[in-house]
Structure 1
Amino acid sequence: MQRPRFLPDNMTLLLLGVILIASFFPARGAVAEVFEQLSVWMIALLFFMHGAKLSREAVISGLTHWRLHLLVLLVTFVAFPVLGLLLKPALLPILTPDLYVGILFLCMLPSTVQSSIAFTSVARGNISAAVCSASASNLLGIFITPLLVSLLLKTQGEGHSSMDAIFNIVLQLLLPFVLGQLARPFLQAWITRHAQVLKMVDQSSILLVVFVAFSAAVVQGLWAQVPKMMLLSILGVSAVMLALIMGLTMFVSRRLGFSKEDEITIVFCGSKKSLASGVPMAKVLFSSGSVGMVLLPLMLFHQLQLMVCAVLAQRYAKR
């Protein structure tokens, strides 16, 4: 039975459950330190499996469609951050500085992989181009996102220095990813047979990092700093950003003469932001005390983009 399109997906429900647990029973002291170390190893395992799953052939086969991929990357890593900066005067009066950092951080993240491809498929778009664009966005994001964080957040007093950020990303994310790519010829058959197990590893890694981040934030008074109206404000800001970016991708792709199939790929790959990449990156790039607040806008945006894209994919499919 198909899930109604406006209901949250299973991962979102699990995230909400983890946030509730962390809110009432946050990890403290020695327990928090154990979970912190475990989350580091889980993130390394997550990116190792991402490297092992990513098909080099799929990326290479789509590289000839360079105009489409360039447009997706420009929207993801240029238009989104510029929008986040332009909204700063309107956002700072209604959000805390950490929440604005969270909005700006979400603007710097790469696109999703699985859901971008899935929605492109449902909408009858260019699936091979979606595979290439989403994969390239995630791979380049390992380098681009920490550089953008260093450039755009240094005045906010957040993030590490540029060299620290790059070193941490290389050590905790890129190195496991490369090792996964090298191990792919030996693991490919096993990965195919155990796809559900690997999905559980992905989700468990994200849930553990979210629990650790929100535990630290709750101990420091997260919910006292974020009233209900502020949560609604974040959701409203997310809706505005998503609408503007989707409108931009549709307008530009049509003006540049892309086919409807390519337009669909550009809209879904260009407007999405990856929770799977964003959670571990935030863990590496920000101090433990601010990660929970920084991740809050991303998790709200994640659910909103899934609901909106589900509706839009169905509309495209009926054309």
Structure 2
Amino acid sequence: MKRLQWPRWMPVDPYIVLLLATMGVAALLPARGVAADGVSALATTAVAFLFFLYGARLSTREALDGLRHWRLHLTILGCTFVLFPLLGLAAQVLVPVLLDDALHRGLLFLTLVPSTIQSSIAFTSIARGNVPAAICAGSFSSLAGIVVTPLLAAVLLGGQFGGGQGFSGDAVLKIVLQLLVPFLAGQLLRRWIGGFVVRHRALLSLVDRGAILLVVYSAFSQGMVRGVWGQVSAVRLVELIAVEAVLLAVVLAATWYGAKALRFGREDRVAIQFAGSTKSLAAGLPMASVLFGAEAALAVLPLMLFHQMQLMVAAVIARRRERDPLPAEEAHPHAASGHR
């Protein structure tokens, strides 16, 4: 029986529909009391399992090969942890005209979050870019973000963490236990389970998306119970989306043309653009829950909106890049067309 597929002409990715549906369920039926504790524990476990699978998927050889391409990885890390935060700081001028303090705090936090792994790999593959580089870049960014994101948050956000732990030894330890330890465990067990994980990529994708949906439901439920959504008007929401659209456009242009100025080849430029312009919900949401506590739901709203936006825009760009002629195809168009 032929598997049902999402129509290619549909403008909205099915995962975005699931995200919106999850937000709607949390608004109508938020988890409370013991149920909220159970959902939170389940979400934490799912994210830990996700990073365990990330570790099991990344081979030591890929990691070592990736380290040799240090210019590419430094460029991506620079985009993720330098360019993005600078743009987030610059957005302060939009307060209070387009953003209020709480939304700017969330916007600034999203600029501190590491890059995605799954999305950057998928889009790089579609666009015929350097997939091994995207795998390593996403993994390196996530590992660096475990320490770099809380450090940057401590410096740039200061005492604006609300009811969370903020930056502290306990907060960093909690993030390390949830993200880094499972990743290292996956690396250690890769010899025995790595082949299975690589062969069943759909499992990683399912856990990736399922973990994010659980964390989104948990965060939005907390927001509903505490009444934080009443703090955001429809006008402010539209203004936030407009600001994030500009942010994404600036970063996409900077990663593509900046990589060209640095004399990277086409395949590397593709990897730099997708790994350097995306932000990870899987890493950002658990970090926000630790750092912001009761205010995490409002703090992650900009990140959630940006994540959905980046998926839609990156999908369009990846499909356009897929049709770009490669250098070899430009030199031998007839030979290239025979392989398509």
In 2, the alpha carbon distance for the partners of 1:27 and 1:218 equals 9
- Provide the C-alpha distance between the structure 2 equivalents of 1:13 and 1:131, rounded to a whole number of angstroms: 26
Amino acid at match of 1:175: V
Which residue matches 1:185?
191
What is the match of residue 18 of structure 2? Answer: 14
Q: Specify the SS of the correspondent of 1:63.
A: helix
Q: Distance in 2 between matches of 1:310 and 1:93?
A: 32
Aligned 8 A contact 2:118 2:205 in 1: no
> 1:166, CA displacement in angstroms?
1.5
Higher mean C-alpha displacement, 5-14 vs 226-235: 5-14
Runs of 4+ deviating beyond 6 Å: none
For each residue in 1:48-68, what CA deviation from the matched residue of structure 2 results, as whole angstroms up to 9, or x when unmatched? Answer: 222222222222112222111
Q: Is 1:174 equivalent to 2:192 in the alignment?
A: no
**Structure 1, 256-265 or 4-13: larger mean CA deviation:** 4-13
Output aligned runs, 1:37-186, within 5 Å.
37-158=41-162, 160-186=166-192
Farther off after superposition, 101-110 or 183-192: 183-192
CA drift at 1:74: 0.4
Report the counterpart of residue 263 of structure 1 in structure 2: 269
Q: Say if 1:6 and 1:248 are closer, same or farther in 2 by CA, change over 3 A.
A: farther
Distance in 1, matches of 2:91 and 2:40, equals: 34
Match of 1:223 among 209, 212, 229: 229
Distance in 1 (CA, whole Å) between partners of 2:229 and 2:102 is 13
Task: Give matches, 1:188-199, under 5 Å.
Answer: 188-199=194-205
Once residues 89 and 101 of structure 1 are traced to their aligned partners in structure 2, the CA distance between those partners, rounded to angstroms, is 13
2:309 counterpart SS class: helix
> Which structure: larger Rg?
2
| Higher deviation after alignment, 196-205 or 233-242 | 196-205
Within the alignment, does 1:316 sit opposite 2:318 as a pair?
A: no
- What residue is the counterpart of 2:327 in the other structure? none
- 2:328 corresponds in structure 1 to none
Alignment of 1:276-287 (within 5 A): 276-287=282-293
Letter in 2 for 1:317: E
Secondary structure of the residue aligned to 1:156 is: coil
Partner of 1:291: 296
Which residue is equivalent to 1:232?
Answer: 238
Q: Deviations over 1:201-254 (max 9, x none)?
A: 332222222111111111122332112222211211111101111121223222
Asked if structure 1 preserves the Cα contact closer than 8 Å seen for 2:161 and 2:292, the reply is: no
Between the aligned partners of 1:152 and 1:317, the Cα distance in structure 2 is 38
Please say if residues 5 and 311 of structure 1, whose CA atoms lie closer than 8 Å, have aligned partners that are also in contact. no
Cα distance, 1:278–1:123 mapped onto 2, change above 3 Å = same
Using the alignment, how far apart are the partners of 1:6 and 1:109 within structure 2?
A: 29
Matched residues, number: 318
Task: Judge conservation of contact 1:116–1:268 (CA < 8 Å) in 2.
Answer: yes
1:85-136 per-position Cα deviation (integer Å, ceiling 9, x unaligned): 0111214443343322211111011111122122222222222222222221
- The answer to whether the 8 A contact 1:123-1:315 is kept is yes
Q: Which moved more, 1:12-21 or 1:43-52?
A: 43-52
Q: Distance in 2 between matches of 1:66 and 1:186?
A: 29
Partner amino acid for 1:156? Q
Partner residue, 2:38: 34
Once the two structures are TM-superposed, the CA of residue 257 in structure 1 deviates from its matched residue by 1.7
Mapped partners of 1:44, 1:126: distance in 2: 27
Q: Deviations over 1:140-194 (max 9, x none)?
A: 1122112111221114244513323221112222222212221221222332454
SS at the partner of 1:131? helix
Q: Which moved more, 1:12-21 or 1:183-192?
A: 183-192
Identity, % of aligned positions: 47
Deviations 1:265-286 (A, max 9, x none): 2111111111222222222322
Report the TM-score, using the length of structure 1 for normalisation.
Answer: 0.91
The answer to whether structure 1 residue 306 and structure 2 residue 308 are counterparts is no
Q: Which runs of 5+ in 1 are unaligned?
A: none
**Distance in structure 2 (CA, Å) of the matches to 1:39 and 1:64:** 35
1:156/1:89 CA distance change after superposition, 3 Å: farther
> Structure 1 stretch 94-103 or stretch 173-182: which is displaced more?
94-103
Separation (CA, whole Å) in 2 of partners of 1:176 and 1:262: 29
